[in-house]
Amino acid sequence: MSAPDFREKPEDLFTEEAIEAGRKLFAGEITFLRGVRSLDALPDPMACEIAFAGRSNVGKSSLLNGLAGRKALARTSGTPGRTRELNFYAVGSQLCLVDMPGYGYAQAEKSLVAQWQSLLRDYLRGRRELKRVFVLVDSRHGLKSADMEMLELLDTAAVVYQLVLTKSDKMKPGALQRVADDVQRGLARRPAAHPRLHITSAEKGAGLAELRAELAMLAAQG
């Protein structure tokens, strides 16, 4: 299966109404709920919960800030791989976004890595309200071994996930399309993978309207 051409016009994939619904959703109130290091501290569930995962330095905080139109929504650590919490954000009254710890952990202690992985596994398997996980992949590098480990975890947990290429502005169009094709082929036989690929640039704003629209549609489905 080939990747959708990222040069398609937004209206080819999402209606104007869907784009506007996404804009309105993220133009409203967005509130940080809490950071969680154990399952007994999880906030009360909302109708729709969506998580974001990705390797350290993939641009997850920049993407979340870009979606929200805020400079400092996502909580960050000065050292990659040091974020130890699941951070929960309420977007309006129906949608909760979950910022998962970056994986890759090159500079983290092994005991902390094991602790975070255990938390993630338990969360993914036990949170019924979790509708989808968006896995961010740096478009300059494509799928790496750490990404494949995360996809295996999501497949095992039977959680639907969808890939988002980040930092697309750093790539030439032809090279970006080749990466998109490679990523799509890597998902073809994965049981929990959603086929649609988002290609984004938090710096330039590319692809954010479509991603907001998809999140709004998921929230509306509850």
Asked whether 159 and 129 are in contact (CB, 8 A), the reply is: no
Cα separation, 133 vs 75, in Å, equals: 19
pLDDT of residue 191: 94
- Which CATH number is 13-221's, of 3.30.1490.100, 2.160.10.10, 3.40.50.300, 3.90.25.10? 3.40.50.300
Strand partners, 97: 50, 89
Which strand (E) or helix (H) includes residue 12?
Answer: helix 10-13
Joined tokens for residue 184? 């799509």
Which strand (E) or helix (H) includes residue 138?
Answer: strand 130-138
Q: Helix, strand, or coil here: 30?
A: strand
Tokens 């954000």, residue located: 89
Joined tokens for residue 137? 């992949």
Domains of the chain by residue range: 13-221
pLDDT of residue 106: 54
pLDDT of residue 117: 78
Which strand (E) or helix (H) includes residue 186?
Answer: helix 173-187
Asked whether 79 and 107 are in contact (CB, 8 A), the reply is: yes
Along the 222 residues of the chain, how does pLDDT read in single tens digits? 334 444 444 445 689 999 999 999 999 999 999 999 888 999 999 999 999 999 988 999 999 999 999 887 876 555 444 457 899 999 999 899 999 988 876 555 666 667 777 888 889 988 989 999 999 999 999 999 999 999 999 999 999 999 999 999 999 999 999 999 999 998 988 999 999 999 999 999 999 999 999 999 999 997
**Nearest C-alpha neighbor of 138 from the set 109, 171, 116, 107:** 171
Q: Give strand ranges (E) for 21-80.
A: 30-36, 48-54
pLDDT of residue 164: 98
